[in-house]
Structure formats: C-alpha cells, structure tokens
Copies of this chain bind each other. A is one copy, B any other.
Amino acid sequence: MGPSRHDRLTIGELSARSGLATSALRYYEELGLIHSERTAGGQRRFARQALRRVAFVRAAQRVGLSLDEAGAALAGLPVDRSPTATEWSRVARTWQSRIDEQIEDLRRLRDHLTGCIGCGCLSLGTCALYNPHDVQGADGPGARKLLPSR
C-alpha cells in the first residue's frame, strides 16, 4: 500500500537482473521498448514492469523479430501498469503463432535434408524446397535481414 518503495530499479539493477548491458537498456529505451521515470537528479528509475518487457524483447529476438517488430508487439501493452491477463495473452498469442511457423519451417528443412541424404539424390542445390523464396536477387539497398525469408 502507499507509494511503492522497492520496485523502482536503477539501470544497473535492471542490467543485473536482465543480463543486458546498461548501454543496451538505454538503447532499448531510446527505441521506446522500455520506459523510465527520472529522479530529481536525472537518473533513470525503471518499474519492475520493464523486466518483463526486456524479457519479451529478448525472446522475440530469439524467434527472429527485429527490435522494431518487438516494439510493435509491445505497443499493445500499457507502459506503466502490469498488463492484464487479457492484454498479455493477446500479445502473446500473435507471436506464439510466429513460433509455430518457425518450428514448422525448421522441421521442413530438417526433414528435407534427411530425405536428400536418405535417397542419395544429393540434389540440395537444385531442390526447390531449399530455395523456397526464389528470386530475391534484385531487392533493395541496405542491409538484408539475416533471413529475408518468411
């Protein structure tokens, strides 16, 4: 009850608990992935909430989302309050399907690889399945996503 005491984390604490460098956390804040209040002196104080957000972002990266995409997903959640179960599950559901897709992708890849070995055709190079997204030879400038596929 009353104004909370110990649930404002310094960036160092958040770093320790999330495993991310403080520089990364500042970067995340800059991108709007997490938010902080400031002390009178200008230092950041994060709500515990931020821990969840950071964790979400890291998990999202694991399944191939960019920080921007992760941010978009998080946009559905309140910044200052803990999300309700409903809010949270809405967000979670969207990227759960993303995970499923990704698993399916990998499984196809593996099975096909096995198939090629099994049958001895060794046709990987010319096999359509391995080149599923076909021509991308002429895309755009700038960095490509690691895996432009999807």
Contact = CB atoms under 8 A, between A and B. Distances in A.
A92 to B, nearest CB: 6
A139 B21 CA distance: 9
Contact of A58 (B20, B82, B106, B130): B130
Given A88-B122, A117-B89, A125-B48, A109 B16 contact: no
A20 B146 CA distance: 13
A1 interface: no
A149 interface: yes
Contacts of A147: 61-62
A125 B54 CA distance: 7
Given A20-B137, A56-B124, A100 B110 contact: yes
